Amino acid sequence: MQRDLIESALKGHEADYVEVRLEESRSTSVRYRGKELEEISQPVSSGGNVRALVRGGWGFVSFNEPGHLREKVGLAVAHARHVGRGATSFAATEPAVDVLNETAAKDCSAIALAEKKRLAEEYNEIVLSTPRVETSVVAYRDRRRRVVFASSEGSYIEQSNSDLALRVAAMARDGGDVQQSGLSTGSRGDFGQVEGLHQQVRETALRAVELLSAPRVSSGEHWVVLDPILAGVFVHEAFGHLSEADFTYENERMRQIMVVGRRFGGDHLNIVDGAAVPGLRGSYRYDDEGVPAARTYLVKEGVLVGRLHSRETAAKMAEPVTGNARAVDYHHPPIVRMTNTFIEAGQASFDGMVGEIKEGVYVKNWYGGTTSMEMFTFSAAEAYAIRNGRVAELLRPVVLSGNIFTTLENVDAIGDDLQMNQGGGCGKSGQAPLPVSNGSPHIRIRRCLIGGA
């Protein structure tokens, strides 16, 4: 749809603010399940939405057919009028006009379907040819998307970019005992970043078999070392979600808890979120309200110094906008989300961290994580006993649990080896999977609660 049509549809409505988002995407999905090529498809999708703000109330209309756009804007405005009963607070930003066409070094949109299928097939064959592996899942998925954003304030932004995710899982069985191991990675559309993982895939498959004979760790508190991947999931769940201002901005008691200046960890702890780093899965130039991306310190030297905002939450809390309003797709309005979230590198060495532990657990890789703000879980796909300062035998996967008011304080060492993890995606309020990345160096946590046998 042409720019002048969109702009004219936005004009002359009695609303404090209106925006239109139109989206077109083309995806590729290749999935092997065991020997079967379970799915190969290239879905196309197009649609859009209108969001309007009147006296603090929002109207939202989503659709597949962009025709009669002016009527759709009218409906969203009517919806907003229907619910708006207070005052609008919405941070002022400079309207932006921009066209961005981002192409990765080896952009997935230029790779033939046959090549994607071949790569998935190669990884699948590695898993299936591993002795005692029962079966596999290899799922490759990419999407090239063009999003047009226009607002009643005069913003007009076109952004085109790609996102890619690869998941490899191996399963082994011994009678009724089934164990699995996985590898999850991705990139901002760069196919090159998921090529050449053959050795990692081989190790993943071998681990599924090893898990069959691994013992369970006991339930209770343990001294743990987290690898950079799991520590990235930890920081995302433990502090990232709590930094999203939409949980805080209208909650007076939460504002008192999450007050700037409050200490959450030691001086060595620095936590950052930001989309203004090129080339990661959570990177972009403008968020879904047209606000330029930033880089925001959430914790500096152990103290809360900032949080993530949409235009509405920033205005209500009188804090600067950070460009963190994101929508997973046109079916949903933007909400406050993370982008690329990480713990900055410290000075500890991995050997030093493990060396000081007489009895503990080294946890690696991830199954998932979730949070209720105060308490959170993050689950390791790999766990190893630590005994007398050395990493020892493989254990069954464990779910770790924390409490925001004690667990960050209990981080007693931060490594010097920061790595970003590009696998998986984030879910919130029914919007998933949103491309994000997270990362950390190795970290060590005292008295971390583990659910085990």
Partner 1 sequence: MAGKRAQEAEVFVGSVDDTPVVFEANRLKQLQTNRGMLVALRIVRDGKLGFATATSLDDIGSLVDRAVDISHFGAPARFELPSGQEYPRVSVYDREAETFDVDAMVELGQSLIARVREHTPDLLCDASVGRGAALVHVMNSRGGEASFTRSYFGLALEGTLIRGTDILFVGDSESSCHPIRDVDWLVKSTVNQLELSRRQAALTTGHMPVIFTPHGVVSALIAPLAAAFNGRVVLQGVSPLMNRTGEQVFSPELSLRDDATVAYRPRSRPCDDEGMPSRVIPLVEHGVVSGFIYDLQTAALAGTRSTGSGDRAGASLPSPSVSNLVVQTGKTGFEDMVRGLDEGLVVEQLMGATQTNVLGGDFSGNVLLGYKVEKGEMVGRVKDTVVSGNVYQALSAAIAVGREARWVGAVHTPAILCPDLAVGVKG
Name residues contacting partner 1, limited to 375-404 (CB under 8 A): 375-379, 396-399, 401, 403
Among 8, 41, 129, 347, binds partner 1 (CB under 8 A): 41
If one asks whether residue 320 binds partner 1 (CB under 8 A), the answer comes out as no
Q: How many residues bind partner 1 (CB under 8 A)?
A: 81
b/e map of 130-163 (b: 16 or more CB within 10 Å)?
beebbbbbbbbbbbbbebbbbbbbebbbbbbbbb
Contact between 373 and partner 1 (CB under 8 A)?
yes
- Candidate list 3, 11, 68, 85; residue touching partner 1; CB under 8 A: 85
CA-wise closest residue to 304 among 246, 264, 254, 344: 264
Q: Which of residues 422-451 bind partner 1 (CB under 8 A)?
A: 447, 449-451
Interacting positions 256-315 with partner 1 (CB under 8 A): 257
Q: How far apart are CA 172 and CA 410, in angstroms?
A: 36
DSSP string, 166-229: EEEEEEEEETTEEEEEEEEEEESSBGGGGSS-HHHHHHHHHHHHHHTTPPPPPSEEEEEEE-HH
Return the amino acid letter for 35.
K
Give CB contacts under 8 A, 24+ apart, made by 121-124.
121/32, 121/37, 122/198, 123/168, 123/197, 123/198, 123/201, 124/32
Q: How far is the CB of 348 from partner 1 (least distance, A)?
A: 24
Q: Which stretch binds partner 1 (CB under 8 A): 9-17, 57-65, 91-99, 386-394?
A: 57-65
Q: Which stretch binds partner 1 (CB under 8 A): 43-51, 94-102, 149-157, 302-310?
A: 43-51
Distances (CA, A) of 95 to 3, 58, 91, 453: 15, 20, 12, 56
Task: Give min distance, CB of 373 to partner 1, in A.
Answer: 6
- In the complex, minimum distance from the CB of residue 369 to partner 1, in angstroms, rounded to a whole number: 7
Task: Work out which of 176, 196, 199, 318 binds partner 1, going by CB under 8 A.
Answer: 176
Structure tokens at 258: 């999450």
- Give 349 or 403: the residue with its C-beta nearer to partner 1: 403
Closest Cα partner for 321 from 60, 99, 96, 150? 96
Can residue 179 be called a binding residue for partner 1 (CB under 8 A)? yes
Q: What's the gap between Cα 344 and its chain centre?
A: 18
For partner 1, the closer of residues 83 and 92 by Cβ is 83
Instruction: Say what angle helices 113-128 and 198-211 make with each other, to 10 degrees.
Output: 40
Of 318 and 453, CB closest to partner 1: 453
Q: Which of residues 93-132 bind partner 1 (CB under 8 A)?
A: 113-114, 117
Using the contact rule CB under 8 A, the part of the chain among 61-69, 89-97, 191-199, 344-352 near partner 1 is 61-69
* Comparison of 58 and 297: residue with beta carbon closer to partner 1: 58
Which listed residue (154, 278, 368, 427) binds partner 1 by CB under 8 A? 368
The only residue of 1, 40, 276, 315 in contact with partner 1, by rule CB under 8 A = 40
User: 447 with 344: CB under 8 angstroms?
Assistant: no
> Hey, which residues between 195 and 224 contact partner 1 (CB under 8 A)?
218-221
* Cα distance from N-terminal residue to C-terminal residue, the chain: 59
The DSSP letter of residue 306 is: -
Torsion sign over Cα 20, 26, 31, 37: positive
Among 171, 291, 336, 413, binds partner 1 (CB under 8 A): 171
Is the Cβ of residue 156 or residue 191 nearer to partner 1 in the bound state? 191
253 binds partner 1 (CB under 8 A): yes
What is the footprint of partner 1 within residues 6-35 (CB under 8 A)?
27, 29, 33-34
Nearer to partner 1, 114 or 318 (CB): 114
Instruction: Tell me which stretch binds partner 1 (CB under 8 A): 5-13, 78-86, 195-203, 298-306.
Output: 78-86
Q: At how many degrees (to 10) do helices 3-10 and 69-83 cross?
A: 30
User: Restricting to residues 233-252, which ones interact with partner 1 according to CB under 8 A?
Assistant: 250-251
Q: Which residues pair with 378 in a beta bridge?
A: 369, 400
Shortest Cβ distance from residue 343 to partner 1 (Å)? 21
Q: Which is nearer to partner 1, 285 or 332 (CB)?
A: 332
330-359 residues in contact with partner 1 (CB under 8 A) are 331, 333
In 39-102, which residue ranges form alpha helices assigned H by DSSP? 69-83
- d(C-alpha 97, C-alpha 157), whole Å: 5
Q: Tokens standing for 374?
A: 């105060």
Q: Around Cβ 420, how many Cβ atoms within 10 Å?
A: 19
Stretch touching partner 1 by CB under 8 A, among 37-45, 100-108, 187-195, 197-205: 37-45
